[in-house]
C-alpha cells in the first residue's frame, strides 16, 4: 500500500465535487472550519457547477479531480458531498497520475466508488469520513467527527469499542485484514466492472442510508452469490437507517438480515459502528491494516498516513 504524507498547518487542501453539487452556504461553513485548523483552501473550478443532478459534466468533474492530484501545492483532497456521479468518470481517471502524486483523499457515500477504484488501481490508502457540505457544514456537527481529522496530522492508530456506541456481535471470532468497503449500494454497483471490489482476506466495511431491509437483503444476497462475502475475513457494519420511514410490521429488521447472511458465512462480524451516514461519523483509513475482535467487540485500525 501507498500511504499519503501527513499534513501540516499551512498546507493547502483542495475541495472537489465528484458527484452532486453542494449547498454553498453549508460548504462555506465546512471550509471555514478547515481554515480554523490552519489549512489553506482551494476550490475546484467546477465545484459548484450544475448539470442535472451532477456538479458539472463528467469531463468537468474529472478535470477537477485530475488537477487536484497533479498540483504539487495541494496536499489533500476533500470531497464536498456525495450524491451520485463518481462512477460516471472513473473509467477515464489517469491512475498513473494518482500513483505518481499520492496524497490524502477524503469522502464517503458515492465517493466509495472512487475509494475502491483508487485503492485497487494504485494501492493508495484513502479516507472514509465526513464531507464539508453534507456533514461539517452543519451547526451541530458532533465533536468526534471533527476530532478524527487529527489522524491526518500524525500516524495515529484508531480504536473503536462500546465507549463510542453500543455494538452487537453477529458472529464470534477475531479477524484481520486491510479495511475496505464503504457504501453498500456503491459496492454492489462495482460488480462486473473493472473496479469490482476485492474482498479476499479483507475486513469489509458496509454502511448505507434510506435502503429498507429488503433492499439491503437483496444487495447482500448479490454479494453472497458472487462470493464476495465468503472471501472477506470479517465484517464491520456501520450505520444503516431510514429517514422518516414508517415501521413495516411484517418487515425483517436490519439485524435480521445481517444475521441471515453473516452467520451463514461464519466469519467474525460486529454491527453498530457509527461509520457512514450518521452523526457522529467515525472516519477511517481504507486500505490500512485492521483487526476486529468480535468477542470483545473492538476494532483496531493502523495509521493511514506516514
pLDDT for residue 143? 87
pLDDT, one tens digit per residue, over 10-34 is 999 999 999 999 999 999 999 999 9
Q: What is the DSSP annotation of the chain?
A: -BPPPPP-TT-EEEEE-SSSPPPHHHHHHHHHHHHHTT-EEEE-TTTT--BTTBSS-HHHHHHHHHHHHH-TTEEEEEES--SS-GGGTGGG--HHHHHHS--EEEE-GGGHHHHHHHHHHH-B-EEE---TTTTTTSTT--HHHHHGGGGGTS---EEE-TTTS--EEEE-SEEEEEEEEEEHHHHHHTTTSTT----TT-EEEEEEES--HHHHHHHHHHHHHTTHHHH-SEEEEEEEE-TTPPP-TTSPPHHHHHHHHHHHHT--EEE----SSSSS---EEETSEEEEETTTTEEEE--S--
Cα-trace Rg, the chain: 18
Residue 187 reports pLDDT greater than 70: yes
- Report residue 31: phi and psi, to 5°: -65, -35
- Report residue 68: phi and psi, to 5°: -70, -35
Residue 137 reports pLDDT greater than 80: no
- Give the start-to-end residue ranges of the domains of the chain: 12-152, 158-244+252-301
pLDDT for residue 131? 96
Residue 299 reports pLDDT greater than 80: yes
Residue 148 reports pLDDT greater than 80: yes
Task: Please compute the mean of the pLDDT values over residues 141-151 and round it to a whole number.
Answer: 91
* Closest residue by Cα to residue 82 from 192, 188, 211, 182: 182
Q: Whole-model pTM?
A: 0.97
pLDDT for residue 102? 98
pLDDT for residue 244? 66
pLDDT, one tens digit per residue, over 154-174 is 999 999 999 999 999 999 999
pLDDT for residue 226? 98
Residue 138 reports pLDDT greater than 80: no
Out of 3.20.20.70, 3.40.50.300, 3.10.450.200, 3.40.50.10740, the CATH code matching 12-152 is: 3.40.50.10740
* Closest residue by Cα to residue 239 from 283, 282, 191, 272: 272
Q: Which residues pair with 160 in a beta bridge?
A: 299
Q: Which residues are catalytic?
A: 109, 207, 277
* Closest residue by Cα to residue 58 from 17, 96, 119: 17
pLDDT for residue 126? 98
pLDDT for residue 249? 66
pLDDT, one tens digit per residue, over 248-272 is 667 899 999 999 999 999 999 999 9
pLDDT, one tens digit per residue, over 65-124 is 999 999 999 999 999 999 999 999 999 999 999 999 999 999 999 999 999 999 999 999
Per-residue confidence band for 140, with pLDDT thresholds at 50, 70 and 90: confident
100: Cβ contacts below 8 Å, ≥ 6 apart: none
Task: Tell me how far apart the 2 most distant CA atoms of the chain are, in Å.
Answer: 55
Superfamily holding 158-244+252-301: LD-carboxypeptidase A C-terminal domain-like (3.50.30.60)
Residue 302 reports pLDDT greater than 70: yes
pLDDT, one tens digit per residue, over 192-219 is 999 999 999 999 999 999 999 999 999 9
pLDDT for residue 245? 64
Quote the CA–CA distance of 54 and 48 in Å, as a whole number. 10
Amino acid at each position: 500500500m501507498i500511504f499519503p504524507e501527513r499534513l501540516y498547518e499551512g498546507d493547502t487542501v483542495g475541495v472537489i465535487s465528484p458527484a452532486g453539487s453542494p449547498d454553498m452556504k453549508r460548504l462555506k461553513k465546512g471550509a471555514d472550519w478547515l481554515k480554523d485548523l490552519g489549512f489553506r483552501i482551494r476550490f475546484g473550478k467546477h465545484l459548484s457547477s450544475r448539470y442535472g443532478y451532477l456538479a458539472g459534466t463528467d469531463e468537468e468533474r474529472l478535470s477537477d479531480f485530475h488537477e487536484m492530484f497533479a498540483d504539487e501545492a495541494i496536499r489533500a483532497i476533500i470531497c464536498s458531498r456525495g450524491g451520485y456521479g463518481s462512477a460516471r468518470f472513473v473509467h477515464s481517471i489517469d491512475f498513473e497520475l494518482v500513483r505518481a502524486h499520492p496524497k490524502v483523499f477524503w469522502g464517503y457515500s458515492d465517493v466509495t466508488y472512487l475509494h475502491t477504484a483508487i485503492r485497487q488501481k494504485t494501492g493508495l490508502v484513502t479516507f472514509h469520513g465526513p464531507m464539508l457540505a453534507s456533514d461539517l457544514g452543519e451547526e451541530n456537527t458532533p465533536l468526534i467527527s471533527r476530532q478524527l481529522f487529527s489522524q491526518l496530522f500524525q500516524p495515529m492508530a484508531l480504536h473503536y469499542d462500546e465507549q463510542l456506541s453500543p455494538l452487537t456481535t453477529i458472529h464470534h471470532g477475531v479477524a484481520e485484514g486491510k479495511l475496505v468497503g464503504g457504501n453498500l449500494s456503491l459496492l454492489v454497483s462495482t460488480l462486473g466492472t473493472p473496479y469490482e471490489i476485492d474482498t479476499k482476506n479483507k475486513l469489509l466495511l458496509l454502511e448505507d442510508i434510506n435502503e429498507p431491509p429488503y433492499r439491503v437483503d437483496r444487495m447482500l444476497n448479490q454479494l453472497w452469490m458472487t462470493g464476495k462475502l465468503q472471501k472477506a475475513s470479517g465484517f464491520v457494519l456501520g450505520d444503516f437507517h431510514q429517514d422518516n420511514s414508517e415501521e413495516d410490521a411484517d418487515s425483517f429488521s436490519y439485524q435480521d438480515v445481517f444475521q441471515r447472511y453473516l452467520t451463514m458465512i461464519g466469519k467474525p462480524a460486529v454491527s453498530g459502528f457509527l461509520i457512514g451516514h450518521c452523526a457522529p461519523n467515525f472516519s477511517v483509513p481504507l486500505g490500512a491494516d485492521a483487526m476486529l475482535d468480535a468477542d470483545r467487540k473492538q476494532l483496531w485500525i493502523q495509521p493511514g498516513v506516514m
